[in-house]
Chains A and B, each alone.
Chain A
Amino acid sequence: MSEVALSIKSVDKIYQRRGKAPVHAVKSLDMDVARGEIVALLGSSGCGKTSTLRMIAGFEEVTRGDIVVEGRRVNQMPPARRKVAMAFEGYSLYPPLTVRDNIAFALKSARMGSREVEKSVQEIARLLDIEPILDRYPSSISGGQQQRASLARALVRQADLYLLDEPMGQLEPQLRAILRGRLKNLLVDRRMTSIFVTHDQTEANALADRVAVMEAGVLQQFAGQKDLRERPANLFVATFVGEPPMNVFESRVMNGDRVRFAIDDGPTLDFGNADIPPKVRAAIGDREKVVIGVRPHAVRLGAGAGEARVVSNQWLGDQSHLAMEVAGKLMVAVSHAPIPATAGERVRFGVLPADLHVFDAATSAALSHGLEAA
C-alpha cells in the first residue's frame, strides 16, 4: 500500500499496577490503515480497543512497537503535534466557550479567515443537527448534544487522522440512522482517514470500510463487513459479529463416503460427497470433533435433515425471528417475510452446504466457509 495513513507495528500495551499483576491490554497489534479509509475498532469493554485509540492519539504510552502516522513515527510525540483530530470521552468541550467557539477554536488557532471559519462551523453544525445550540454553553446542553458538539469540533479540523470514541453512542434512535448516513457521506466525500471505537456492531458496520474485531487485547480479524459475515476467522468473530449471532453446535464429523455432522444431542446433517468440495473435506481432515455454524438468515425452513420444536415465532414488522430447540439450545432462523409456524409445532430445517461454517473444536479457528476452505 503506497497510501498508508497509519501503521501500527507490533504494538503492545502493558499497564503496570502497583502491588498487582500488570495488565496486558493490547498484544502485538499490527494494522495498516489506508489514506481515506474508515476503520472501526469493535469489541466489548476491556478488549483493548480504547487503549489502542488512546495510543494513536498520544494519551497513552506505547509499551512496545511503533505507531507511524503519514510516515512519521509518533511514539514520543505529544498529542497536539500528531496532526490528529479527536472526539473523546474525557476530552471534553471547554466550559467557558459557547458550542460555536468550541468548534471554531482550532480553526482560529490555525489562522483561518473569520468568514471561512463561520462557514465551516455552520456546515458541520447543520450536518450534525446542532445549529440551534451553537450559542449555548456546554453545561446547558444534553449529553447527546455535547457528544455531537465534540464530534463537530473534531470533524471541522484539517487533520491526517480523525479519532472518534463511540461517535454516535448517545443519540436518540430517531436521529441515529440519518446522522450516521450524513457522517459517512462526509468522511467518504472528504477522504477523511478515520478510526473510531465502538462496542456497537451496527455502528461499526454502518460507518466503516473495515472493522477490526478485538478481544482480550488481540486483533481477531480485520476485514470488511462482508468478510466478517461470510468468512469469520474464528468462533469468537462468528458469534460476536452478526445480529442475531451465528447458530453454532458442537458436533462429531464423519468425513468418509458422505460427510456427516452429528450435532451432540441433536440431528445429523448429512451431505453427499459431491455436495462438499474436496478442499473443504481436506480442511476438515481427520478431525472427529468440530463446531459447525449457520447464520440465522441462512437457515432453510420447511425441508431438510433436522426437525425441531418451535419455541417462538416473532414478527417485528419487517422481519421474523423463529427460535427452535436444537440440542438443548436455541437455534434461530430469520426471514424478511413472515414465517408460517406457531410455538409448540415441529418444523423441518436444513442447511445448504454453501451456508455451512466449520470451526476447529479445540482452537476455534475457522476451517471452512461454505464451499471454500478458510
Chain B
Amino acid sequence: MSKLELQAVSKAFKAGKVLDRISLALEEGEIVAVFGHSGSGKTLLLRLIAGVEQPDEGRILLGGRDVTDDAPETRGVGMAFQNFALFPHMSAFDNVASALTARNAPGDVIRAKVEKVAALLKIGHVLGHAPRELSNGQKQRTALARALVAEPQILLLDDPLRNVDAKLRYEMRLELPSLLKASGSAVLYVTQDYKEAMALGDRIAVLSDREFTQIAKPAEIYGKPATISVASLFGDPTINLIPVAPLASPGETKIGVGGASVSLPPGFARLAGKSCVLGLRAEHIAVEDKASPDSFPVEVVAVTPLNEKTLLLLRTGDGREILASEAGTSEAPRRHGPAFARFDPRTVLLFDSDSGRRIAPQAA
C-alpha cells in the first residue's frame, strides 16, 4: 500500500489552473523530489497534501485512506511540513521537542525521542544551545530533527536548503538522503535545483505546465528526458537543441548537423521528412584538431573552464552556437580558431518539434 497517493488532483485559482490531474504514489521509505521552476505549483502541491488547501478534483490518499475531505489535523497520518526555520528563543532541545509537546506526550517520552533523533543527526551535544549558538549545519539538522522526531509516515519538505549558503547546501545534499532513509518516512522533497533533485530523489517528479511531465529515476530523467523542457531543465550547461530534418537514405536515416551528414542509429526510419529537434549534451561532443568521417567544422569561439571541466563555445558552419565540454581542464585557455566537432550518434536525443516529446528509437 502506498504511503501517499495523489489521484488526478486538480486545483485552479482565479488566474487559471495551476495543477491539472496530477497523479503520484509514494512508497514507504521512498524519497521523491518534486522539481520545477518557481511558480510551477510545487508548494501548492504540498499544501494540498497537508490539507491547508482543498483540491477542486481528484483524491488524496494517506496510507490507503481517502483524506481528501478531512481537515489537516484529522488526516490521521503523521505528517511534517517543514521549511527548516527554528524558533530563535528556544533551545535546540525545545525546538525539536516542540513537534511533540503539541501532542501532550509525557516528559520522559519526549526526552527519549528527542535524544534518539538527536543522536541520529549528531546534534546530541548541542541540544542545550540556542539557535544563535549553533553552526549553520547544526541549525539545519536541528530543524530536520524536529521534522523527524514525531516519526511521521510522510515528510513534506519545502525547498529546505533554499536559503543556505552554497557550501552547506552541498554538504546537506550529501548527508540528507541517509538521514532521511534512517527515519523510514516517505519524503516528498520540493526543490528548484536540478542537482539537488538528482542527488536526493529516489525518483524525480518534474512539474511543468501544470502536470508531472515525467516521473522517473534521476539517471533516466537525465538520459531519457520525456520532453524538450525536461531535457533543458537538467544539465549544466543546458543541453544543445538543434532543429533537424531527418532524411531517408538507403538503409539508414541521416540528419544534417553543422554541414555534416550524420547517420542515426537504427530505429529512426519513421522520422524521415519530419521536423525534429536534436538534443545533444555538451559532454557528448568531442572537439578535435583534425577532421574525421563524421565530424563537422566549427570555430572555437571561447574556452571557459568550469570546475574540472572545460566548456567550449563553438560556432558551426551555419552560424549556430553550441557548447561542448571536456573533462579535466584545458592547458590552453585561449585555444581559439578552427576545429572539428564530433558526437557519437548513439548519444543523440530526438524530439518531435510540435509536441516537444522525445522520440524513442523503434525496435527492429
Residues of A within 8 A of B (CB): 173-174, 176-178, 180-182, 184-185, 188, 202, 205-207, 209, 224-226, 229, 242-245, 297, 311-312, 314-318, 321, 323, 330, 332, 334, 336, 343-344
Contacts and interface: CB of A to CB of B under 8 A. Distances in A.
Contact of B304 (A207, A226, A336, A344): A207
Given A181-B302, A206-B306, A209-B333, A318 B178 contact: no
Contacts, number: 114
Contacts of B323: 177-178, 181
Contacts of B302: 180-182, 184-185, 188
Contact of A177 (B177, B178, B223, B311): B311
B175 A178 contact: no
Contact of A311 (B175, B195, B303): B175
24 contacts: A173-B238, A177-B236, A177-B237, A177-B313, A178-B313, A184-B302, A184-B303, A188-B302, A202-B306, A206-B304, A206-B306, A206-B311, A225-B333, A242-B307, A243-B170, A314-B173, A315-B218, A316-B195, A316-B199, A317-B222, A318-B281, A323-B174, A323-B175, A344-B178
B61 interface: no
B304 A312 contact: no
A161 to B, nearest CB: 20
B214 interface: no
Given A185-B301, A206-B306, A245-B167, A174 B199 contact: no
Interface of B: 167, 170-171, 173-175, 177-178, 181, 195, 198-199, 218-219, 222-223, 232, 234-238, 281, 283, 301-309, 311, 313, 321, 323, 325, 327, 329, 331, 333-334, 336
A270 B318 CA distance: 57
A342 to B, nearest CB: 11
A330 B174 contact: yes
A181 B333 contact: no
A173 B236 contact: yes
B313 A185 contact: yes
A315 B197 CA distance: 11
A317 B235 contact: yes
A240 B236 CA distance: 21
Given A330-B171, A343-B177, A188 B306 contact: no
A181 B178 contact: no
Nearest to B232: A174
B174 A314 contact: yes
A343 B29 CA distance: 15
A312 B174 contact: yes
